[in-house]
């Protein structure tokens, strides 16, 4: 078969992916990757260039893989998050744009609430790829960031990202906040994007998510709240008198998680924050600041 020009290869990929009920735009991302991580502009400027045999074979293999349900990020090996490139594989959840908003909210509140502090003990629970912890550490050097994950395989990915991006983050292996409870350490900021999808709902997820991404990073138990309930037991044992707790939540879980926080921390300022799509996506509690 004659080698295709770039625009012909993209047309083929678009038709193929539509047939497989995948996003046709994925073809462009995959072609840019195969051609050496070109920018979109570079790709478009060379739409009439002919692919080499090796490029065409790699591209077709990648498109077929995605057609079978493998996420683009697991094929390319990375995802962009907060303007940085994070290495990802099947051991970690692919970072989502809405989690960037969680990071932004934490950074803004840290700036306001701890403006005079030289070192702010910060904990990211369930770190996965390390996207939250690493971004916080790089965006605000006064945050002394530790993170934990129950899966050593995930911690290896996070450590690799930390090394590549030059972030100073401590990674611990453990279950939720147990490492801090055991060490008797205290934190001023606790942030987490825990697994929150109810088990029944996982069955309804697209196969590209439920069959590819790690189940431990998705399942929030029977009703989706198992980890939030555990947090309510463990947070009082690790928080400093003045603290911020920030959770990502499912689109219909904000009210319930906010109520859990108000019961656990009477007097705390608890707010539900909507994401860019106007979904209730974050619950944030500021504890012990009422007299400031």
In the chain, domain spans: 6-76, 90-287
Burial group, residue 224, by CB count within 10 angstroms (0-12, 13-18, 19+): buried
Query: Does 27 belong to an annotated binding site?
Result: no
Query: Does 149 belong to an annotated binding site?
Result: yes
* Higher per-residue pLDDT: 215 or 80: 80
Its CATH architecture, for the domain 6-76, is: Orthogonal Bundle (1.10)
Query: Does 126 belong to an annotated binding site?
Result: yes
Query: Does 130 belong to an annotated binding site?
Result: yes
Query: Does 50 belong to an annotated binding site?
Result: no
Query: Does 199 belong to an annotated binding site?
Result: no
The CA–CA distances, whole Å, from 100 to 86, 125, 161, 245, 261 equal 13, 16, 16, 16, 22
* Listed residue (83, 88, 52) closest to 72, CA to CA: 88
Q: Which residues contact 84 (CB under 8 A, 6 or more apart)?
A: 134, 135, 138, 165
Query: Does 140 belong to an annotated binding site?
Result: no
Query: Does 11 belong to an annotated binding site?
Result: no
Domain topology for 90-287:
Rossmann fold (3.40.50)
Whether 172 and 148 have beta carbons less than 8 Å apart is answered as yes
Query: Does 128 belong to an annotated binding site?
Result: yes
pLDDT of residue 143: 98
- Label the pairing between strands 269-274 and 84-87: unpaired
Largest CA distance in the chain: 74
Token representation of residue 253: 């879980």
Query: Does 127 belong to an annotated binding site?
Result: yes
Confidence tier at 219 by pLDDT (50, 70, 90): low
Q: Is the pLDDT of residue 213 over 60?
A: no
The mean per-residue pLDDT over the stretch 128-146 comes to 97
Whether 207 and 264 have beta carbons less than 8 Å apart is answered as no
Q: For the segment 193-209, what is each residue's pLDDT rounded down to a tens digit? A: 997 777 767 666 666 55
């Amino acid at each position: 078969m004659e080698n295709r020009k770039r625009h012909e290869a993209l047309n083929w990929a678009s038709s193929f992916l539509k047939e497989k009920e995948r996003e046709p735009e994925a073809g462009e991302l995959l072609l840019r990757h195969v051609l050496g991580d070109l920018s979109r502009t570079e790709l478009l400027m060379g739409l009439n260039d002919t692919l080499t045999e090796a490029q065409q074979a790699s591209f077709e293999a990648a498109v077929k893989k995605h057609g079978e349900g493998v996420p683009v990020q697991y094929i390319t090996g990375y995802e962009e998050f907060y303007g940085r490139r994070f290495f990802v594989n099947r051991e970690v959840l692919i970072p989502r744009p809405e989690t960037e908003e969680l990071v932004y909210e934490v950074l803004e509140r840290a700036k306001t609430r701890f403006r005079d502090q030289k070192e702010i003990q910060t904990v990211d629970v369930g770190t996965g790829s390390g996207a939250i912890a690493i971004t916080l550490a790089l965006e605000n050097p006064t945050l002394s960031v530790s993170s934990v994950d129950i899966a050593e395989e995930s911690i290896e990915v996070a450590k690799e990202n930390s090394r590549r991006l030059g972030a100073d983050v401590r990674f611990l292996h453990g279950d939720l906040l147990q490492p801090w409870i055991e060490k008797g350490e205290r934190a001023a900021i606790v942030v987490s994007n825990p697994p929150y999808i109810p088990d029944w709902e996982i069955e309804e997820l697209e196969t590209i998510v439920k069959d590819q991404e790690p189940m431990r990073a998705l399942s929030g138990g029977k009703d989706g709240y198992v980890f939030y309930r555990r947090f309510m037991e463990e947070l009082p044992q690790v928080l400093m008198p003045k603290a911020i707790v920030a959770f990502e939540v499912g689109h219909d879980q904000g009210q319930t998680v906010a109520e859990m926080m108000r019961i656990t921390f009477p007097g705390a300022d608890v707010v539900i924050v909507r994401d860019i799509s106007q979904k209730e996506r974050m619950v944030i509690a500021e504890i012990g600041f009422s007299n400031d």
